[in-house]
């Protein structure tokens, strides 16, 4: 039986965006809340290579920090220096955002960050490998389920900077 999860307000924003843009997608429910790529892949019955790992990076500044969202395949690691290299030259060293910053900046919780519905001031950088995939699995913003959609549709919606950003 297909289980339809209760849709949270955060996830509803994503579903509204997908519907408004006529993006076909599939809900991938979990048996329990998940917060890691490995567990999510297992629960969704997908391989980690097709999962989008969204990692918020923070610019190391003493005044008002700036943030960038890096998205890499689930089996790879982001290389913050590679992300910085594709940002404007005034950006300084990038570090990983804290759990509290992730929620404050994106409204998502750590482990359930989606590349969709982010504040417009946040640049989004996708690793170039996503251009070679047919389908990808993203977080819905809710640890109870993920979303599968065409990689090309995700790229069209997000309009990311695309560059080699993995180690």
Contact 5, 15 (CB under 8 A): no
Reported as a pLDDT band with limits 50, 70 and 90, residue 9 is confident
pLDDT above 90: residue 35: no
Q: What does residue 122 show for φ and ψ, rounded to 5 degrees?
A: -90, 115
More confident residue, 35 or 14: 14
Q: Based on the number of CB atoms within 10 Å of its own CB, is 153 exposed (0-12), middle (13-18) or buried (19 or more)?
A: middle
Contacts 24+ apart (CB under 8 A), 81-85: 82/163, 82/164, 82/165, 82/166, 83/57, 83/125, 83/163, 83/165, 85/163
Residue 79 has pLDDT above 60, yes or no: yes
pLDDT band at 2 (very low <50, low <70, confident <90, very high): very low
Tens of pLDDT, residue by residue over 113-138, are: 999 999 999 999 999 999 999 999 99
Q: 27 has which bridge partners?
A: 147
The answer to whether the beta carbons of residues 158 and 69 sit under 8 Å apart is no
Compare 9 and 21 and report the one with higher pLDDT.
21
Which pLDDT score is estimated for 1?
41
pLDDT, tens digit (0-9, with 9 covering 90-100), for 95-115? 999 999 999 999 999 999 999
5 pLDDT higher than 70: no
Residue written as tokens 């409204």? 107
Q: Give the residue-averaged pLDDT of 70-86.
A: 97
pLDDT on residue 91: 93
In order of 37, 97, 103, 132, 142, the CA distances from 15 in angstroms are 21, 26, 20, 24, 12
Helix segments in 3-98, DSSP class H? 9-20, 37-44, 80-86
State yes or no: pLDDT of 149 exceeds 50. yes
158 or 62: whose pLDDT is higher? 158
- Distance between CA atoms of 24 and 19, rounded to whole angstroms? 8
């Amino acid at each position: 039986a297909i289980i339809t999860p209760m849709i949270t307000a955060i996830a509803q924003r994503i579903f509204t965006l997908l519907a408004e843009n006529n993006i076909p997608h599939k809900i991938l429910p979990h048996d329990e809340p998940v917060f890691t790529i490995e567990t999510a892949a297992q629960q969704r019955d997908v391989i980690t290579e097709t999962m989008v790992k969204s990692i918020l990076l923070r610019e190391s500044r003493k005044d008002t920090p700036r943030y960038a969202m890096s998205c890499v395949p689930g089996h790879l690691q982001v290389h913050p220096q590679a992300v910085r290299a594709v940002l404007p030259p005034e950006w300084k060293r990038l570090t990983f955002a804290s759990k509290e910053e992730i929620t404050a900046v994106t409204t998502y919780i750590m482990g359930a960050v989606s590349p969709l519905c982010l504040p417009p001031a946040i640049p989004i950088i996708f690793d170039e490998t996503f251009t070679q995939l047919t389908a990808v699995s993203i977080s819905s913003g809710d640890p109870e389920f993920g979303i599968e959609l065409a990689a090309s549709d995700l790229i069209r919606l997000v309009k990311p900077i695309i560059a080699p950003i993995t180690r």
